[in-house]
Structure 1
């Protein structure tokens, strides 16, 4: 894994399977034209899962790229691949799922860089620890750890290499700064969440998604937050009190000793993912070059 020994921001990007085509263009560009991109950032991982994985917990309806092809792309650049298996409603019977087990077995084979699993269920965690010890584990933001004491206990848990707190702890600087360096290295901040900062139903929303992935009948969760009908807007996310922008990363988080930053967006279109890559990683004067390289690639279908 890539850990920060200098003041470098390590991004964890969305869409391992979902946006393979985009990354097949972007990653070669990122590593062959580093002058286009901020020298203070790098890519630590790309996360995702095929749409029909019952262990999955994300709001994703696409992404069925061949797993070996996906892994080959990331292996070429020494980037960790993460499976998003954050379903919170798993039962013992689900642990035998052939597709999810096959993916974990495949991801365990990588001998160049360690791959991981983003996880919610303690049941699944215990199972994966015993069956796939080569994988590392990330505590999912779907746990909605808004209480700092709960978050701190999660950080102290040696089972997790990284912990993603709820975005409403992003600016708890007085408490975050008390963490020792080893614990700061484990914290992975969710930067661009668009969810209403005062939402009280976030955990129930994730639970509904998990139940749906298991094929169980449950009422659709209806978000009652202000402007919920507009869906995700990056411009709206930027006004969120928990938003972490590039100035925050450079001037607050990196000097404070935090280096890991997660970009959400698996359920969004590839055109919006490109906007995240431009904003968080690309120097303004070179954004047009990156856009052109992506837009002019006839293999991509941006939407």
Structure 2
């Protein structure tokens, strides 16, 4: 790293040095490093704003649990299908790919598709079952929409912020990563359970028992806004910060120069010599 200039002008001279002596103060290396970085920090453009998606996991979980534990009773029992979820899904899919008016034979099994058979299947998958299936689909879309929003959440780029805030950014990024991963895993589980119930329309599933993720959008937003605001203020004050850092470094190097040249002892010796000369002059004046 290039060493920053520590003098206010190129015309810094002995008189300036003499004026700085009373403020001279040595600094630890860590503080020197910090001040040098501050002197060399260029003004940055404002980073982009981030808005963290608000997700009500309590409501979503309640909705999914309602679906998982909901009772849908078929109005007709078809022995060849029974309560087998795979056979039910197969029959439901068959109704989608066949046309009641033109198809008279099942393309999958070769069995006849008579009007009576169509009536039986329609009664099995009646309006209540269809409405329930639509409810599952809508809820799953909602869950996946929240998941997509979380996947779009980016970490803060430290290079867009001043070095003074890099540690805070690292902490926030770690919290975002942990919370985001936990929330996405949870939403994946909800989506999988909804898909399972979609295949088992007439079979209830157990409600979700695990705890909800720790995604707190309001807290993340508060932390981000705080860093963003302080970073903006820092940028607005960067010229003054440069001057203060430059001044502190200059006082450090003045103190170091004085120490290296044994200034204190020499100053004391000069003061003693000056005092002796003054005393001698006083005595001389008395004699005369």
TM-score scaled by structure 1? Answer: 0.20
The structure in which a higher percent of residues are helix is 2
The structure in which a higher percent of residues are strand is 1
TM-score scaled by structure 2? Answer: 0.20
Larger Rg: 2
